[in-house]
Amino acid sequence: MTYKVTEEGNIATVFLDGEIDMDVTEKAKEVILPLVNSGKEVHLNLKDVAYMDSSGISVLIESHQMALEKNTKVVVKEVSKSVLKVIMMAKLEQILNLG
């Protein structure tokens, strides 16, 4: 997994690339959670994520819950087909902010 972060005003966009699985979830959390914790609105761009397992999904859920506590939000954008399939199977489209 590689990533790039851009910030514009109070919105931080994290562009994730590659595979998000158990090997990289800690790295993903280290990137995403501090941004959420700072009170920014965080957009996760997943268009270049080829694969995401349940540990990757748990990062989405954890960051979403933290955002609710911080009175901000995490928006999951441009979700690749394979990741969207996992999100739908877990019935998370009703919980996560898909933009």
Residue 24 one-letter amino acid? V
Q: pLDDT tens digit string along 40-99?
A: 999 999 999 999 999 999 999 999 999 999 999 999 999 999 999 999 999 999 999 998
> CA-CA-CA-CA torsion for 16, 97, 13, 42, nearest 10 degrees?
-120
The whole-model pTM stands at 0.94
Longest dimension (CA), the chain: 34
CATH topology classification for 2-98:
Transcription Regulator spoIIAA (3.30.750)
- Using CA atoms, how far residue 74 sits from 31, 64, 83, in Å, is 13, 6, 16
Q: Where are the domains of the chain?
A: 2-98
DSSP state of 23: T
